[in-house]
Structure 1
Amino acid sequence: MSQPTALSPRRQQTRQRLLDGALTVFAREGFGRSTVEQVCAQAGFTRGAFYSNFTSLDELFLAIWEQKSEAMRGALAAALEADLPPVKDLREAVEHVLALVPVDDEWFRVTAEFTAHALRTPALRRVVAAREEGIEAALMPLITALLARVGLRVTDPDALGPALVAAHDGTSVQCLVAPDDKAVRRRRTDLFVLIVTSLTEPVSNHPATKEHP
């Protein structure tokens, strides 16, 4: 099988401007109402530039999604490689990780609409499901390792990933609807702590569990 051809710096720049422009248009207009022409106008390119990089708005969105997911994986990987800040309990560890996955108003609006679009398109729905499984598979080793740093072992990896994703998606809505309500943010953290507690167990003889049983 031949390897993908590397993009030239100019082509990479064009592609990135289209991705950035599309995200702005999708958030402003709504995915279902956005057009190739609007994306091109926002990015400062012609339709020819668009179609030399993407076959459709669906493909463009999936490229944005992959880039966002890669950034999240990178942030978690960097946190794993660095020394975690001192934490006195699981709650502080959860707050540290949640800070790496912020609630993004613009991105949430775009993904919510695209998900509804994908649910009406069987082939696209399968692509989305496969990509979500791939992202979860990539993130779980990082999450497991981060929890191990605070003395916790995951007891059910198959359940923890979907539970954390569901909690993130659900509480994101609440945080965006009431952005200034500190109680909403507090309950968001409470839920993540509860999920992690129910699907992990302390590691014997780990310094964190010795100091903070």
Structure 2
Amino acid sequence: MNESQKAPRGRSREATRAKLLGAAAEVFAEVGLGEASVERICERAGFTRGAFYSNFASKDEMFLELATVVARERVSAVRARIDELAIDCDVPDVTVIIRALDVVGDDRASTMLMNEISIHAMRDADFAAAYSAQIDEVTGEVVQLIDEITQSRGIRLRLSSVDAARIIMGVWGDISSRAAIAGLNAEAMAEQRTRELGQIVDLLLDR
């Protein structure tokens, strides 16, 4: 097989994996990991069980890869927003932090999915180790965001940027969960997150 034949097959496999992961994200968020059967995921994606097992050894392996994909997307989104806001000096200090974080999962399905991933990590030690590393990576990006903002604008925090990042991410998760439970749409969730996160960030600034 020549290189020109291998490339289309490789792209086809990547497309299949991506479609299976997308379907899994929807099903996991809807019914949880326990009820999300391979058959249900394949039906949603439009593939056979054979397609599933040619890409993943098990449902847990798929779940871990999905968590990896979500974490990488979050990191990339926050990093891109940091770069975008770095040149906007007219945005208030509190607002710029919130706007950077608002790219991270802004709908009910995303919130349900991340809660499902967290619950699974609590039950599975191997999964927990991998997921903890992802959490640290995302938190590190938020720490960098906070450091860049405080240094460029000459402002100080009441505590370390690491502690501030953990508080912000914890509050963000709690707000998103409560908004999802209340059945709020993406726009209403964003409004609530902006309001409550603004209050927290304002308390963290040493004025």
| TM-score, length-scaled by structure 2 | 0.77
- Is 1:188 the counterpart of 2:197? The answer is yes
Contact kept? 2:78, 2:141, Cα under 8 Å: no
- Bigger mean CA deviation after superposition, 173-182 or 56-65: 173-182
> What aligned pairs does 1:151-166 form with structure 2 within 5 A after superposition?
151-152=154-155, 156-166=160-170
Instruction: Flag the 1:176–1:63 CA change in 2: closer, same or farther, 3 A.
Output: same
> By how many angstroms is 1:85 displaced?
6.2
Task: Measure, in 1, the Cα distance between the counterparts of 2:98 and 2:194.
Answer: 10
**1:51-95 C-alpha deviation (Å, 9 max, x unpaired):** 2222222221222222222222222222333322622x3232233
Q: Give the partner amino acid of 1:141.
A: Q
Normalized per residue, which structure has more helix? 2
| TM-score, length-scaled by structure 1 | 0.75
Instruction: Flag the 1:137–1:126 CA change in 2: closer, same or farther, 3 A.
Output: same
> What aligned pairs does 1:28-177 form with structure 2 within 5 A after superposition?
28-82=30-84, 83-84=87-88, 86-87=90-91, 89-152=92-155, 156-177=160-181
**1:137-196 C-alpha deviation (Å, 9 max, x unpaired):** 34432442244343335662332232222111112123323435866752232123323x
Instruction: Flag the 1:151–1:51 CA change in 2: closer, same or farther, 3 A.
Output: farther
Task: Measure, in 2, the Cα distance between the counterparts of 1:39 and 1:183.
Answer: 32
List 4+ stretches of structure 1 deviating above 6 A. Answer: none
Instruction: Flag the 1:187–1:66 CA change in 2: closer, same or farther, 3 A.
Output: same
Instruction: Flag the 1:51–1:85 CA change in 2: closer, same or farther, 3 A.
Output: farther
Contact kept? 2:71, 2:138, Cα under 8 Å: yes
RMSD of the alignment, in Å? Answer: 2.8
**1:23-69 C-alpha deviation (Å, 9 max, x unpaired):** 11112222221011111111111222212222222221222222222
Task: Measure, in 2, the Cα distance between the counterparts of 1:46 and 1:115.
Answer: 28
Task: Measure, in 2, the Cα distance between the counterparts of 1:112 and 1:101.
Answer: 14
Q: Give the partner amino acid of 2:161.
A: P
Contact kept? 2:42, 2:52, Cα under 8 Å: yes
Task: Measure, in 2, the Cα distance between the counterparts of 1:153 and 1:192.
Answer: 12
Q: Identity of counterpart residues, as a percentage?
A: 27
